[in-house]
């Protein structure tokens, strides 16, 4: 069934470009992984703690840059396929000549929010790893968050299609604001699950792929009443 | 045996057998508990259910035992709106209801040929067509018992319980739309709606759904003029099917589907599997109705195409064309001053081209009890493309292609109330009385379904609804009077109903789109 959903998403107008953007993210991640293993970069060891706290043996600024690049790439890889509705909204509601500009402005704001969030999550995961937290504990945290009304409220707001100005700086402002708020709600909905792969030492990429597919299938469902829910039960009313 | 659905008014303004049996059957269904899938309340809840509102109207109370959660999840809150499934889902709904009502009639000794009447509010030869006959309004049946077809929660547009629909609210322009399915690209939303998944509350109204369907709902339901200013049952999807008029209104909408198919050989139902198979994808709910014994029967749009097939088995008394064969292209040719011979030769086929934004207003519009004006700023290069397309047909040796069609989009319509409507005028002359310029009427915006779409955590995520009006004829006239090449086009919202929300109705953006043909 997830395969059918993924295929249905890809058949949408924005599906293929977003799939290509996602693949780009995966390639960057693979490239970073060759230079500096993601398993260390993202946690599952105290590698990142060493990065963040040079006194205990950091590897310097280049590794920090890599961390930010990897955070951006991870957001690009895993979040781009979730944005078909937003991209279609920007495309339809903008003047034809302003469409690329609208998409770039949205993407800049959205990516900035996610890159910052992923960097913080990676650092946090490193700290938690030092404390002995593993993937099972992180999955439990994700399950708890996914059961909360706050998480459902965040997910519902990922479906918002705001008014977009058509002309001038008002149009630019609206696209930036749309990207920024979409990014914030998206982080709110996805942060806990995005944290889990960081604790998976073996099969890091597979865990990321599984999380991405879950989030993609879930995002195709309409918003639901805000209440406590069985975590990960995306088909319940 | 195939039964014939008759015109409500042609049955007579009295207790004719068809309406008398309808009343007796409705009373029977109303005695059944809500846990019975063939009860009045269970069937109405399949369209939509709101526990708080239903308690307010007295259909249930705090002690009422509801059906098991599993059955409610499968059956209730199922109506398809703002969707290309609007027509086929409601056809199945009507057929199930009709069969259950007929079974009750037969059980009571009535005719096995009973069929649901349709309310043709647009019947030109009948001056009373826009009102309701005695059977739906009389307080009692001939035997002196209460009339179950008359509800106190039907307020009409004056809010006093009188139903008399304004003629401007029942325009049948949707019948001239060539494609069944449209798109959400800002252009035509199609005669039957836009492709969606399971859409209990969607985003963009299809043309028939918008006018006359939504308008009639709100005109009949209305809002009580006197305190406590209740909203009528028909004004909201979650209560609409509790009013016996609902079924006669939807029989007419279903009939108009047949009229549309018949009036032009180019009109055809969708043939793509996604529409024919219904929302059967991953995790999607299926369309389901109870049979006369209350057992669930699943169906898809594919099962709803032939009304004379065994599962439906009905025809309409009259499916003649109320527009007398009028074709929009012929009308355009007249407006644009072209000879009939210059009409494009090949159009139709149901292919909907992507649309392109031409302009938009600059802020959210707040609607209320008084008329409100806004201005759509036009993008000069895109407007020039519209003008060029309009001119191209007049050029010697021009290709046989219809010029751009133009659409007014009312985006993100939000309201806490389901009642109320607004007549929307485009390019009214300054200081003009809108009532004297019906040629500038783009359409009527009704708030049916808007309340639910406004809920932040509802299925529409608080985005509200979008309604699209075809304003090609208005734009053609502007072009011919050299008034299209302008900075702004004025748009005016005039409250339609005499009662309705005084505030809290907003239109997120008013925009204009061109769609190449």
pLDDT tens, position by position, B93-120 = 999 999 999 999 999 999 999 999 999 9
Helix locations, B198-327, DSSP H: 207-208, 215-221, 245-263, 273-276
Q: Is the pLDDT of residue B492 over 90?
A: yes
- Whether residue A163 and residue B73 make contact (CB cut-off 8 A), yes or no, is no
Roughly how many angstroms between the first and final C-alpha of chain A, as a whole number?
Answer: 18
Say if residue B179's pLDDT is above 90: yes
State which H helix or E strand residue B290 sits in. Answer: strand B287-290
Structure tokens at A13: 């107008």
Residue carrying the six token digits 């793509």: B272
Is residue A143 in some structural domain? Answer: yes
| Residue B510, strand partner residues | B410
Residue of B nearest to A150 (CA): B457
Query: From the CB of residue A55, how many other CB atoms can be counted at a distance below 10 Å?
Result: 6
From CA A144, how far away is CA A195, in angstroms rounded? Answer: 13
Total length of chain A: 237
HEC sequence for chain A? CHHHHHHHHHHCCCHHHHHHHHHHHHHHHHHHHHHCCHHHHHCCCCHHHHHHCHHHCCCCHHHHHHHHHHHHHHHHHHHHHHHHHHHHHHHHHCCHHHHHHHHHHHHHHHHHHHHHHHHHHHHHHHHHHHCCCCHHHHHHHHHHHHHCHHHHHHHHHCCCCCCCCCCHHHHHHHHHHHHHHHHHHHHHHHHHHHHHHHHCCCCHHHHHHHHHHHHHHHHCCCCCCCCCCCCCCCCCC
> Is the CB of B463 less than 8 angstroms away from the CB of A217?
no
Distance from CA of B274 to the nearest CA of A (A): 11
Per the CB < 8 A criterion, the answer to whether B383 and B391 are in contact is no
Q: Which domain holds residue A73?
A: 2-219
Phi-psi region of B386 (alpha: psi -120 to 50; beta: other; left: phi over 0): alpha
**Cα–Cα distance for residue pair A201/A205, rounded to 1 Å:** 10
B439 φ, ψ (degrees, to nearest 5): -70, -15
In this complex, which of A96, A220, A223 lies closest to B457 when CB atoms are compared? A223
Q: From B506, which residue of chain A is nearest by alpha-carbon distance? A: A163
Distance, CA of A229 to CA of A28 (rounded, Å): 36
pLDDT in the model for residue A54: 46
Strands (E), B2-76: 3-5
Minimum-distance CB partner of A170 among B282, B362, B460:
B362
A163/B185 CB distance under 8 A: no
Residue pointed to by tokens 């006369």: B292
Per residue in B66-79, pLDDT (tens digit) is 999 999 999 999 99
Distance in angstroms (rounded) separating the CA atoms of residues A64 and A115: 13
Nearest CA in chain A to B274: A8
| Beta carbons of B121 and B165 less than 8 angstroms apart | yes
If one counts the domains in chain A, the total is: 1
Q: Confirm or reject contact between B411 and chain A (CB < 8 A).
A: yes
Q: What share of chain B is helix, strand, coil (3-state, %, to 5)?
A: 30, 15, 50
Domain B3-316 has CATH 1.10.1280.10: yes
Per-residue pLDDT tens digits for A53-91 = 444 344 555 667 777 888 889 899 999 999 999 999 999
Rg of chain B on CA atoms, in Å: 23
Residue B461 has its nearest CB partner, among A2, A160, A220, at: A160
Confidence of residue B358 (pLDDT cuts 50, 70, 90): very high
Domain residue limits, chain B: 3-316, 328-515
Report CB contact under 8 Å: A152, B457.
Answer: yes
Look over chain A and give the mean of its residue pLDDT values, rounded to a whole number. 85
Q: Is the confidence at residue A45, as pLDDT, over 60?
A: no
The DSSP element (H or E) to which B314 belongs, if any, is: strand B314-316
3-state secondary structure of B301: helix
Say whether B461 and A156 touch across the interface (CB within 8 A).
yes
A&B contacts, CB < 8 Å: 85
What is the DSSP-derived secondary structure letter of residue B405? E
B125 part of contact set with chain A, CB < 8 Å: no
Nearest to A223 among B355, B359, B459 (CB): B459
Pick the residue of A161, A174, A232, A233 with the most B CBs within 10 A to test the interface with B by mutation: A161
Would you call A8 and B281 a contact, using CB atoms and an 8 Å cutoff? yes
pLDDT tier, B33 (very low <50, low <70, confident <90, very high otherwise): very high
Comparing C-alpha atoms, which of B507, B458, B500 is closest to residue B48?
A: B458
Residues of A with CB below 8 A from B462's CB? 156, 160
Distance from CA of B197 to the nearest CA of A (A): 9
Lowest model confidence (mean pLDDT) among A64-73, A178-187, B163-172: A64-73
ipTM reported for the complex, 2 dp: 0.90
In A, which residues are within 8 Å of B381 by CB distance? 97
Q: What is the mean pLDDT of chain B?
A: 92
Compute chain A's Rg from CA coordinates.
18
Nearest to A5 among B282, B457, B458 (CB): B282
Q: In angstroms, rounded to a whole number, what is the distance separating the alpha carbons of residues B78 and B98? A: 18
β pairing state of B3-5 and B314-316: parallel
Identify the band that residue B284 occupies on the pLDDT scale cut at 50, 70 and 90. confident
Note whether B463 contacts A96, CB cutoff 8 Å: no
> What is the CATH code for B328-515?
2.60.120
**Chain B residues with beta carbon closer than 8 angstroms to that of A4:** 281-282
Residue B214 CA to residue B413 CA, distance in Å, equals: 14
Burial classification of residue B467, based on how many CB atoms lie within 10 Å of its CB (0-12 exposed, 13-18 middle, 19 or more buried): buried
**Is A229 among the domain residues?**
no
Count CB-CB contacts under 10 A for residue A139.
19
Report residue A1's pLDDT band, with 50, 70 and 90 as the boundaries: low
DSSP E strand stretches across B405-471: 405-414, 421-426, 441-446, 465-470
Element (H, E) at B80: none
Q: Is B52 exposed, middle or buried (0-12, 13-18, 19+ CB in 10 A)?
A: exposed
What confidence score (pLDDT) does residue B452 get?
86
Say what percent of chain B tops pLDDT 90: 76
The CA distance from A136 to the nearest CA of chain B, in Å, is 28
Please give the pLDDT value at position A56: 37
Closest approach of chain A CAs to the CA of B318, in angstroms?
Answer: 40
Q: Which residues of chain B lie closer than 8 angstroms to A1, CB-CB?
A: 282-283
CA dist A69 and B200 (Å) reads: 42
- Give how far B100 is from chain A: nearest CA, Å: 28
Q: What is the pLDDT of residues B190-219, one digit of tens each?
A: 999 999 888 887 789 999 999 999 999 999
The answer to whether B97 and B116 have CB atoms below 8 angstroms apart is yes
The answer to the question of residue A112 being in a domain is: yes
Closest CB to A163 among B356, B382, B509: B509
* Nearest CA-CA distance, residue B34 and chain A, Å: 21
Cβ(B510)–Cβ(B357) below 8 Å: no
Q: Which residues of B touch A162 (CB under 8 A)?
A: 412, 508
How far apart are the CA of A221 and the nearest CA of chain B, in angstroms? 8
Query: What pLDDT, on the 0 to 100 scale, is given for residue B248?
Result: 98
Which helix (H) or strand (E) element contains residue B270? Answer: none
Cβ-Cβ contacts under 8 Å, B377 against chain A: 166-167
Listed by number, the residues of chain B in 366-395 with a beta carbon closer than 8 Å to a beta carbon of chain A are 377, 379, 381-382
| CB atoms B411 and A163 under 8 Å | yes
Tell me the per-residue pLDDT of A121-178, one tens digit each, with 9 for 90 and over.
887 887 777 777 888 889 999 999 999 999 999 999 999 999 999 999 999 999 999 9
Question: How remote is the C-alpha of A226 from its chain's centroid?
Answer: 22
Q: What is the pLDDT of residue A63?
A: 65
Q: Residues of B with CB below 8 A from A10's CB?
A: none
Chain A nearest-CA distance from B153, in A, is: 28
> How much is the pLDDT for A44?
41
Let me know if residue A190 belongs to a domain.
yes
Q: Do B457 and A97 touch (CB under 8 A)?
A: no
Q: How many CB atoms within 10 Å of residue A203? A: 13
Quote the pLDDT of residue A55: 41
| Half-sphere exposure at residue A165, Cβ-oriented, CA atoms within 13 angstroms | 14
More confident site: B418 or B54 = B54
Distance from CA of B493 to the nearest CA of A (A): 19
For the residues B114-132, what does the mean pLDDT come to?
Answer: 95
């Amino acid at each position: 069934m997830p395969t059918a959903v993924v295929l249905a998403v890809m058949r949408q107008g924005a599906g293929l470009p977003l799939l290509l953007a996602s693949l780009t993210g995966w390639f960057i991640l693979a490239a970073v992984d060759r230079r500096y293993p993601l398993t260390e970069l993202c946690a599952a060891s105290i590698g990142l703690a060493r990065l963040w706290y040079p006194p205990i043996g950091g590897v310097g600024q280049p590794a920090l840059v890599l961390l930010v690049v990897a955070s951006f790439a991870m957001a690009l890889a895993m979040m781009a396929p979730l944005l078909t509705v937003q991209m279609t909204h920007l495309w339809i509601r903008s003047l034809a000549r302003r469409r690329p500009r609208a998409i770039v402005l949205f993407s800049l704001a959205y990516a900035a929010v996610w890159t910052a969030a992923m960097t913080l999550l990676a650092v946090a995961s490193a700290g938690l790893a030092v404390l002995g937290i593993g993937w099972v504990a992180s999955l439990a945290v994700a399950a708890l968050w996914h059961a909360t009304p706050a998480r459902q409220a965040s997910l519902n707001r990922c479906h918002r299609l705001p008014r977009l100005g058509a002309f001038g700086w008002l149009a630019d402002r609206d696209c930036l604001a749309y990207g920024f708020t979409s990014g914030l709600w998206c982080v709110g909905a996805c942060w806990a699950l995005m944290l889990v792969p960081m604790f998976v030492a073996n099969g890091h990429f597979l865990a990321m792929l599984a999380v991405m597919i879950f989030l993609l299938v879930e995002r195709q469902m309409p918003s639901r009443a805000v209440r406590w829910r069985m975590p990960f039960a995306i088909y319940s009313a | 045996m195939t039964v014939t659905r008759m015109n409500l008014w042609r049955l007579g303004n009295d207790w004719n057998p068809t309406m008398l049996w309808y009343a007796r059957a409705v009373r029977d269904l109303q005695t059944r508990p809500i846990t019975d899938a063939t009860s009045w309340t269970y069937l109405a809840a399949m369209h939509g259910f709101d526990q708080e509102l239903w308690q307010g109207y007295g259909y249930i109370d705090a002690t009422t035992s509801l059906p098991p959660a599993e059955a409610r999840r499968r059956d209730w809150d199922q109506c398809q709106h703002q969707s290309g499934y609007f027509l086929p889902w409601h056809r199945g709904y009507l057929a199930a209801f009709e069969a259950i009502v007929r079974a009750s009639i037969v059980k009571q000794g009535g005719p096995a040929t009973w069929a649901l009447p349709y309310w043709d509010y647009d019947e030109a030869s009948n001056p009373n067509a826009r009102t309701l006959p005695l059977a739906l309004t009389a307080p009692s049946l001939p035997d002196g018992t209460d009339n179950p077809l008359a509800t106190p929660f039907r307020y009409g547009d004056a809010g006093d319980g009188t139903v008399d629909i304004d003629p401007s609210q029942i325009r049948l322009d949707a019948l001239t739309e060539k494609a069944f399915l449209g798109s959400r690209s800002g252009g035509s939303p199609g005669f039957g709606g836009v492709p969606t998944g399971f859409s209990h509350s969607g985003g963009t109204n299809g043309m028939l759904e918008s006018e006359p369907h939504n308008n009639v709902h709100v005109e009949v339901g209305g809002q009580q003029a006197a305190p406590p200013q209740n909203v009528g049952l028909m004004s909201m999807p979650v209560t609409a099917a509790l009013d016996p008029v609902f079924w006669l209104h939807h029989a007419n909408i279903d009939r108009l589907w047949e009229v549309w198919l018949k009036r032009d050989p180019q009109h055809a139902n969708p043939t793509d599997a996604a529409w024919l198979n219904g929302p059967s994808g991953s995790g999607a709910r299926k369309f389901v109705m109870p049979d006369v014994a209350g057992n669930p029967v699943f169906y898809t749009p594919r099962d709803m195409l032939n009304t004379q097939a065994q599962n439906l088995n009905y025809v309409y008394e009259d499916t003649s064309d109320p527009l007398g064969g009028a074709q929009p292209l012929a009308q355009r040719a007249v407006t644009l001053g072209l000879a009939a011979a210059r009409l494009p030769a090949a159009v139709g086929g149901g292919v909907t081209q992507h649309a392109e934004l031409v302009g938009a207003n600059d802020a959210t519009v707040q609607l209320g009890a008084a008329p409100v004006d806004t201005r759509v700023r036009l993008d000069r290069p895109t407007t020039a493309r519209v003008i060029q397309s309009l001119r191209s047909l007049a050029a010697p040796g021009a290709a046989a292609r219809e010029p751009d069609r133009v659409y007014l989009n009312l985006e993100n319509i939000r309201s806490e109330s389901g009642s109320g409507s607004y007549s929307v005028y485009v390019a009214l002359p300054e200081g003009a009385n809108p009532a004297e310029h019906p040629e500038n009427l783009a359409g009527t915006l009704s708030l049916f379904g808007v309340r639910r779409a406004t809920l932040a955590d509802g299925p529409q995520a608080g985005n509200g609804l979008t309604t699209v009006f075809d304003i090609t004829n208005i734009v053609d006239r502007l072009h011919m009077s050299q008034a299209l090449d302008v900075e702004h086009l004025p748009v005016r919202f005039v409250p339609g109903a005499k009662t309705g929300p005084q505030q809290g109705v907003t239109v997120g953006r008013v925009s204009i789109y061109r769609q190449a043909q």
